[in-house]
Copies of this chain bind each other. A is one copy, B any other.
Amino acid sequence: MPKSAIRTVCKVDLGKPASEQPYLHNRWHPEIPPAATIQDGETVKIECLDWTGGQIKNDDSADDIKNVDLTRVHYLSGPFAVTNAEPGDVLLVEIMDVQPFEDQPWGFTGIFDKSNGGGFLDELYPSAAKAIWDFEGITCTSRHIPHVKFAGLIHPGILGCAPSQEVLDTWNKREGELITANKLDREVALPPQPLNVHAGSADPTTTEKVGREGARTIPGRPEHGGNCDIKNLSRGSKVYLPVHVPGANFSVGDLHFSQGDGEISFCGAIEMAGVITINFKVIKNGLSDLGLKSPIYIPGPVEPQFGPGRYIYFEGFSVDQHGKQHYMDVTVAYRQTTLRCIEYLRRFGYSDYQIYLLLSCAPIQGHVAGIVDIPNACTTLGLPMDIFDFDISPSAAAAAIPAAAKKLDMGSCAFETGRTEGEVVTTAGKNSETSFGGGLNYKE
């Protein structure tokens, strides 16, 4: 009695606009109609677009990154109704596999332009940049960041069940209040946006409603998970998701070949299109039985293992690059930690933009170290030495080795047309090397 083959419940068409494909959608809303129904206990395959919906090309220019249309991203596959699932249940999602499409064995990491998306370090590195990664089996390399190679801890950036109307209203209220109160000169949250809304196979009336009140897919949210960008939620992981509507209405997308903790450049993982294989199980009454307010997960047993002694750990504190002391601010501390790593790797001949891209997508460990010793939060960032094909360790011959490494050709990442590494580096380098004393108006 051989087992029957695994059913594919969602096929995507890479040659067709995402907006015309009825199994995709780009908002969280309870009324987006299910794309298919999955049995409680069933394993299925689900195809997914990359998170830009195919806007980024495998070439050597970052013009596509600079001009990306952020109203047409994060097309999720689904939603999928699961039999038996009711509000109050937990949907147990076991990720059996994630793969790129066989005929598209590449992905990309991007730094968005500060004026169109930005990222964690956009005050220092405001320009658009891009690296293309080629997949060879489980590993990847990039012509834009030479002498680096690592195995992907492949995972979906986004998964979650649809909010109920009540949950959705909560989101819109609390994020609206943040927007209203905002005094920073940058966007702090994204309100509902009718432009380019895609509500799957919904009728026009529903689509209009989804555009008016549907939650954007950029942030993760405590009630359902969503865009959590958790780097080890990979193959073999079991995720426990709160169910808010009958049928659960599960969606998934934003596949990553690899990501570093923080996904700092925003478009920071190695973004790819592909297929994810998932097993679904409903845990009745799971929300209260498990005491669950937010998703939990158990990682799979298969992760790249470098050995603890093969990491260089950088330390960062909540003192920003202008020398200003912040109070127990982990966000500031983690930004400083990434800058320490950039300064370290810069000595080997990489440009800051290359390193910024690399820290976004390589399997770096970002830890909260100390969070109680006023006024300084301390975070650490572990960089695996073995992803480089030359020695980056801080050995005694500290000076000699980088000199040798510098003779390696580190090439360049992709920039927008007309801009070269030199120009960009000059700007960024000045800010971060002159003792943080420049005129840079960087708000932490």
Mark A residues whose CB is within 8 Å of B.
1-3, 5-6, 43, 58-60, 90, 92, 95-98, 103, 105-106, 119-120, 132, 134, 136-139, 143, 151, 170, 174-175, 177-178, 182, 184, 187-190, 218-222, 225, 227-232, 235-236, 240, 261-266, 268, 277, 279, 281, 283, 285-286, 289-317, 319, 323-331, 334, 336, 340, 343-344, 346-347, 365-380, 382, 386, 391, 393-394, 396, 398-399, 402
Contacts and interface: CB of A to CB of B under 8 A. Distances in A.
Contacts of A367: 261, 365-368
A175 B97 CA distance: 44
Nearest to A150: B301
B97 A369 contact: no
A377 B188 CA distance: 12
Given A323-B174, A330-B368, A365-B367, A336 B296 contact: no
A220 B331 contact: no
Given A296-B394, A297-B313, A325-B175, A266 B330 contact: no
A414 to B, nearest CB: 11
8 contacts: A1-B143, A96-B136, A222-B319, A230-B369, A266-B372, A294-B314, A302-B304, A303-B305
Contact of A305 (B98, B120, B307, B376): B307
Residue among A175, A236, A375, A399 with most chain B CB within 10 A: A375
Contact of A229 (B143, B264, B370): B370
A294 B317 contact: yes
A219 B374 contact: yes
Given A264-B372, A291-B343, A298-B309, 8 more contacts: A96-B137, A187-B374, A220-B315, A232-B313, A286-B398, A296-B312, A307-B386, A367-B367
Contacts of A391: 391
Residue among A92, A283, A372, A382 with most chain B CB within 10 A: A372
Contact of A298 (B266, B311, B368): B311
Contacts of A323: 170, 174
Contacts of A137: 95-98, 235-236, 277
B331 A371 contact: yes
Nearest to A375: B189
Contacts of A228: 315, 369-370, 378
Contacts of A283: 396, 398
A137 B276 CA distance: 9
Contact of A301 (B1, B98, B382, B386): B386
Contacts of A336: 222, 294
B298 A301 contact: no
B309 A386 contact: yes
A386 B236 CA distance: 13
Contacts of A402: 289
A65 to B, nearest CB: 15
B119 A372 contact: yes
Contact of A373 (B2, B229, B305): B229
A315 B295 contact: yes
Contacts of A59: 1-2
A136 B279 CA distance: 9
Contact of A374 (B138, B218, B286, B394): B218
A399 B344 contact: no
A356 to B, nearest CB: 12
B236 A139 contact: yes
A282 to B, nearest CB: 10
A201 B367 CA distance: 38
